[in-house]
Amino acid sequence: MSNGSRPVASSPEALARMVSQRQRDTGPEIAIRRLLFARGFRYRVDAVLPGMRRRADLLFPSARVAVFIDGCFWHGCPEHGTRPKSNAGWWAEKIEGNMRRDRDTDQRLAAAGWTAVRVWEHEPPDCAAHKVAKVVREGLGQSI
């Protein structure tokens, strides 16, 4: 059934999807980054979070803001998240574990004086960029 801790893919097509899944520089990430950059924001990409072995999609250190652009499948989107039928138990635990880690990351950041901004991949990039810009400006003490 499994190769190490991961289950064997249920089909060659499923394996191809898993292998081709990007961890960074996804379409939604690039669209949001371009909009923020055009508005004059500068940020770190795929940056290690302070005091953690975790990464943020975008990091604004001076504003103490970490941005996460969460995939609907991987992070359990209540609107678009799906659960595979093959290896259902393994995938349920994987996705629920991701969601627990997301909550833990947000709590750790808050305890360290940072703000976590979470955006779903399905959100329109202009709306997501506006949300991020607002939080970053607030973190910098600027008016909106």
Query: For residue 7, what are the β-bridge partners?
Result: 2
Residue 106 has which token pair? Answer: 């947000």
Q: What is the C-alpha separation between 113 and 107, in angstroms, rounded?
A: 10
CATH 3.40.960.10 fits 23-139, yes or no: yes
Q: Which is it for the CA torsion 135, 136, 139, 141, positive or negative?
A: negative
Q: What is the DSSP string of 51-62?
A: TSS-EEEEEETT
Distance from C-alpha of 113 to C-alpha of 108, rounded to nearest angstrom = 9
Task: Note the pTM of the prediction, 2 decimals.
Answer: 0.84
Query: What is the full per-residue pLDDT of the chain (144 aa) written as tens digits?
Result: 444 466 666 666 755 566 556 567 899 999 999 999 999 999 999 999 999 999 999 999 999 999 999 999 889 999 987 777 778 888 899 999 999 999 999 999 999 999 999 999 999 999 999 999 999 999 999 866
